[in-house]
Amino acid sequence: MICPACLNEVGDYDSTASHMVREAYRSDVIHVMWLNRNISKKRMEVEEVRVRLEEFFRGEPKEWIMRRFVERFFGDPPHPFVEAMQRPTREVLLGYVLEHQHFLRQWVISLSTVISRTKVEEIRRMEAENITEEYVGCEGRPPHLELLIRMGVALGMRREDIVNTPPLKRTRDALAELDRLSRTLSPEAVSGAMHSLELIAHRGVRDYGAKYTYFDPSILKSGYPREVVEFLREGYDKDVKHSEYALELASEHADPHELKVGALKAWEAFDSYLLARLERARSLG
């Protein structure tokens, strides 16, 4: 079993709890932060941490991931970016464009590590198809990266300004973490963790207790530019299928604990990355 904070192999829940308490007593940042955000801000002894860890990680992986993701991003209050997307301003959508082009590049890199390392043919094929849709285009449809850039142009930015805008530091840090995870965890856990991020656009999240969806679907029929609707519709239509199928495969082939730990780590990076979109939006305002 790996430590959910440092990803080092530690043994069973007893040794994981001892390890985490020892690191927390040393005020190690990543262990303290993990415990604060997932278990408790209160200082605890080893036995209590062991019990709380077992409770926290209990559950079938796919259902656990969906429930925990919804709690984190669609809870009350939801992630600030989800809140902003209920009625996105031009600046919020441009912030999305300028940072997400970098995320999509890292997406392809991370999924490529899965293709090169997995021995599960179904996962390899799924990732190859996903990369094609996101980055290359297929069946006469442009890739999502192109739809994203067109959204930015429709909102008044020049294409060359969009593609020449480097990422914010917050985005760079988040993508570096996703890159690190994709080279550290098993490929099947990486696949599940990365595709769990597509739950952000899953239109069925209300069935899992979400108070919001990624955006108000009435936007798809509203006065936003056609290119905005086309980009958002792609995710709205496709990401349910992507995420659910990928999570089923990951649940079948990845170590359940590593999959959950990997998903949590990916969400930390993603959470920060979504804040970067808002940071960019504020800089444009």
Partner 1 sequence: MGKRTFFCCEHCARGYKNVIQEVLRRTGWDRLDSLELEGNYRGRKGVARNGDKSYVFSFRLGSEAEITEFREEDSKS
The number of beta carbons lying within 10 Å of the beta carbon of residue 234 is 19
Give the nearest distance from C-beta 228 to partner 1 in angstroms.
25
Give the nearest distance from C-beta 80 to partner 1 in angstroms.
6
Give the nearest distance from C-beta 157 to partner 1 in angstroms.
22
Q: Which C-beta is closer to partner 1: that of 14 or that of 173?
A: 173
Q: Is 277 in the site for partner 1 (CB under 8 A)?
A: no
- Which of 154, 96, 151, 95 lies closest to 282 in space, CA to CA? 95
Q: Is 275 in the site for partner 1 (CB under 8 A)?
A: yes
Q: Is 79 in the site for partner 1 (CB under 8 A)?
A: yes
Q: Is 173 in the site for partner 1 (CB under 8 A)?
A: yes
- Which are the contacts of 107, defined by CB distance < 8 A and separation ≥ 6? 134, 194
Among 87, 158, 159, 169, binds partner 1 (CB under 8 A): 169
Among 13, 14, 28, 44, binds partner 1 (CB under 8 A): 28
- Which of 132, 248, 133, 241 lies closest to 188 in space, CA to CA? 248
Select from 23-31, 119-127, 147-155, 253-261 the region that touches partner 1 (CB under 8 A): 23-31
Q: Which C-beta is closer to partner 1: that of 185 or that of 275?
A: 275
Q: Which C-beta is closer to partner 1: that of 43 or that of 226?
A: 43
Q: Which C-beta is closer to partner 1: that of 80 or that of 209?
A: 80
Among 8, 9, 12, 41, binds partner 1 (CB under 8 A): 41
Upstream peptide bond of 4 is cis (omega within 30 degrees of 0): no
Q: Is 37 in the site for partner 1 (CB under 8 A)?
A: yes
Q: Which residue has the tokens 């992986």?
A: 61
Give the nearest distance from C-beta 50 to partner 1 in angstroms.
20
| Number of residues engaging partner 1 in binding (CB under 8 A) | 19
Q: Is 27 in the site for partner 1 (CB under 8 A)?
A: yes
Among 179, 252, 255, 271, binds partner 1 (CB under 8 A): 271
Contacts with partner 1 by CB under 8 A lie at 24, 27-29, 32-33, 36-37, 41, 79-80, 169-170, 173, 271-272, 275, 279, 282
